[in-house]
Amino acid sequence: MDGREPERFPRAQRRLDPDPLRREEPARGAAALLSPLPAEIETPGNLCESSSLYAAGVVPGGKVGKQRFVTLDGLRGLAALAVLLHHAVPKLMPGHVLLPAGYLSVDFFFLLSGFVISAVYEMRFPKGLGSFVRTRLVRLVPTMWCGILLGALLASWRGMDLVELRLSAALLFIPLVFGNFGLFALNGVQWSLYFELVANYVHGLLIWRMPTYWIAVIALCAYASLGLLSDHFGSMAFGDRDANFAAGYARVAASYLGGVLVFRSWQQGRLLDLSGLNPFLLFALVMAISCWFGPKFDFAAVLVWPLVLIAGIQHQTRFEALCAFGGAVSFPLYAVHLPIVDGTLLALGTGASQAAFACVCALGVAMLPMQLKRLRSRLAAAGPVTSAAAGQPLTR
């Protein structure tokens, strides 16, 4: 053996599934609401958007094929729900706090993004970066724009100053670091998508070319700086304000590169065997301990997230439909929930019923893209409608 790193993109190709895009019978009744979308329209995506996680790439053993990670979709949905409750309960039920460490879900999103982008796109990067950038923008930006526009309407209702400036900057994903405007005041969660898009671009430009040991060295440095920053700020809740904006780059770098390393280990068949752990229980346990011990446990929680990811990769769930549903609504829910929560507070005031109303509304809005995709798929499958009398196609 010459000690060289195993080839990441071998020429030998084999499909794990002889017909991975086969159609299944459509779900009936209530199950149809939670059923996965047809594979033809389930496109791999990011940490908080639905991939349905068909990872078309190099799989363990150095072969090219498709492997679906349904459990990771479920974990993504669970993380988005944690963020929703983290924001909704304190705002709409003053004096009550549920999941005070819900912001740690963002670090899990970054980690998951590093794994997913590696699994789905690393084989395509040699063909050029332009297609990847266009794909990411088309899949992510319109959904976030919806949340931004909702936030702009709410800001106008409140009488916020310089709404036009804030809106223009937000639509262009320009953080307003100076002038005390707030980074992304119209939709407070936009900061994390900004950092993720930066990480995606650097991945397509540079990271995929790097040997694993260099990624490991940089990730180790990023995690070390993350520990220092967590101690400095008193928690991991940084990167979302102008005062700590620069620290957000270390936050995304550590977890994102951690996800890339998990992919490289999975690809080479070197993952730690955590198949005996339930990743959902492990996720809930990390959140519970973080809530119990407070911000001093934040950095330790971020170090545990890779174990949750590894357990999710190896886990075989019996609730595929529910997990696929969670993955499908996770990113829209993340993108629009905060303006809906703030709008509920402004229009209806506080209370448990208002909190429940806001959560239901946010979930309902988040389901719209999934339902529109399903409708479009069914219309495409049905083909042109024909007239029984004349046998001529009718325009829709």
Mean pLDDT over 307-320 rounds to 94
Q: Determine the residue type at 283.
A: F
Q: For the chain, state the CA radius of gyration.
A: 22
Q: What angle do CA 57, 61, 64 make, to 5 degrees?
A: 25
Cα–Cα distances in Å, from 265 out to 78, 95, 124, 277? Answer: 25, 45, 19, 18
Find the largest Cα–Cα distance for the chain: 76
Among 2, 5, 125, smallest CA distance to 62 is for 5
Q: Are 308 and 72 in contact (CB under 8 A)?
A: no
In angstroms, the CA 242 to CA 249 distance is 13
Residue 108, domain member (yes or no): yes
Mean pLDDT over 195-207 rounds to 96
In angstroms, the CA 346 to CA 241 distance is 23
Give percent above pLDDT 70 in the chain: 79
Mean pLDDT over 303-332 rounds to 95
In angstroms, the CA 392 to CA 319 distance is 44
Residue 222, domain member (yes or no): yes
Mean pLDDT over 99-124 rounds to 95
Which 3 state secondary structure label does DSSP give 93? Answer: coil
What crossing angle do the helices spanning 279-293 and 298-314 adopt, rounded to 10°? Answer: 170
Residue 305, domain member (yes or no): yes
Mean pLDDT over 27-37 rounds to 39
HEC-encoded secondary structure of 32-58: HHHCCCCHHHCCCCCCCCCCCCEEEEE
Q: What is the mean pLDDT of the chain?
A: 83
Cα–Cα distances in Å, from 338 out to 27, 245, 341? Answer: 32, 20, 5
Domain interval for residue 340: 38-375
Residue 396, domain member (yes or no): no
Q: Determine the residue type at 51.
A: S
Cα–Cα distances in Å, from 201 out to 122, 129, 131, 186, 396? Answer: 12, 8, 12, 24, 39
Which 3 state secondary structure label does DSSP give 390? Answer: coil
DSSP designation for 21: T
Residue-wise pLDDT for 363-381, tens only, equals 999 999 888 888 888 888 8
Task: Give how many domains the chain has, as a whole number.
Answer: 1
Q: Is the pLDDT of residue 5 over 70?
A: no
Residue 23, domain member (yes or no): no
- Predicted confidence at residue 24, as pLDDT, reads 39
Among 64, 197, 60, 207, smallest CA distance to 140 is for 197
Residue 79, domain member (yes or no): yes
> Which pTM was predicted?
0.82
Residue-wise pLDDT for 226-285, tens only, equals 999 999 999 999 999 988 999 999 999 999 999 999 999 999 999 999 999 999 999 999
Top pLDDT among 67 and 223 is at: 223
Q: In terms of residues, how long is the chain?
A: 396
Residue 160, domain member (yes or no): yes
Q: Which residues pair with 65 in a beta bridge?
A: 57
Q: Is the pLDDT of residue 13 over 90?
A: no
Max mean pLDDT among 119-123, 161-165, 339-343, 374-378 falls in 339-343
Q: Is the pLDDT of residue 54 over 90?
A: no
pLDDT band at 83 (very low <50, low <70, confident <90, very high): very high
Q: Spell out a b/e string for 255-270, using b for 16 or more CB atoms within 10 Å of the CB, else e.
A: bbbbbbbbbbbbbbee
Residue 291, domain member (yes or no): yes
In angstroms, the CA 278 to CA 58 distance is 25
Q: Are 73 and 323 in contact (CB under 8 A)?
A: yes
- Predicted confidence at residue 28, as pLDDT, reads 39
Between strands 63-68 and 54-59, the pairing is antiparallel
Top pLDDT among 300 and 33 is at: 300
Top pLDDT among 10 and 301 is at: 301
